[in-house]
């Protein structure tokens, strides 16, 4: 099955800093999503982005499908951005299931 690798595994930043989170996947995908799990455990959709670029406020994401990676950018980080960021993909085959990366844990210091 598809392998999903996220980097870095952990990231500690000062409030106001910018960050880039990466998701590499081993095969072509039909679906790619980014999620944020806040410190209370709630999973929140950020982007559905199998290709191209999207922006939502301070967050943006770019997926380069031909090179099998996606990037999540967080600008002007706030403490509420802390938590774990997951990338999840679904392959191109009909029977492919959704596969999550292990996540990047982001800690924004006040």
Partner 1 sequence: EAQVTQNPRYLITVTGKKLTVTCSQNMNHEYMSWYRQDPGLGLRQIYYSMNVEVTDKGDVPEGYKVSRKEKRNFPLILESPSPNQTSLYFCASTPLGGVDTQYFGPGTRLTVL
Window 74 to 93, contacts with partner 1 (CB under 8 A): 86, 88, 90
* Residue 9 CA, distance from chain mean position: 12
User: Which CB sits closer to partner 1, 42 or 76?
Assistant: 42
Binding span for partner 1 by CB under 8 A among 15-23, 44-52, 54-62, 63-71:
44-52
Q: In terms of Cα–Cα distance, which of 22, 25, 31, 27 is closest to 51?
A: 31
Rg of the chain (C-alpha set): 13
CA distance 1 to 43: 24
Contact by Cβ (8 Å): 13, 109: yes
Our finding on whether 97 is near partner 1 (CB under 8 A) is yes
User: Quick one: which of 16, 20, 27, 48 contacts partner 1 (CB under 8 A)?
Assistant: 48
- Strand, helix or coil for residue 42: coil
User: Which CB sits closer to partner 1, 41 or 57?
Assistant: 41
Which parts of this chain interact with partner 1 (CB under 8 A)?
A: 30-31, 33, 35, 41-45, 48, 86, 88, 90, 97-98, 100-103
């Amino acid at each position: 099955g598809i392998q999903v690798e996220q980097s870095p595994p952990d990231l500690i930043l000062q409030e106001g800093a910018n960050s880039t989170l990466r998701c590499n996947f081993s095969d072509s995908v039909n679906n790619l999503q980014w999620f944020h799990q806040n410190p209370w455990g709630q999973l929140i959709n950020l982007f559905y982005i199998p290709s191209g670029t999207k922006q939502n406020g301070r967050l943006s994401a770019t997926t380069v499908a031909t090179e099998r990676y996606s990037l999540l950018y967080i600008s002007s980080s706030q403490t509420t951005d802390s938590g774990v960021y997951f990338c999840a993909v679904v392959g191109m085959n009909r029977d492919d299931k959704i596969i999550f990366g292990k996540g990047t844990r982001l800690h924004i210091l006040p």
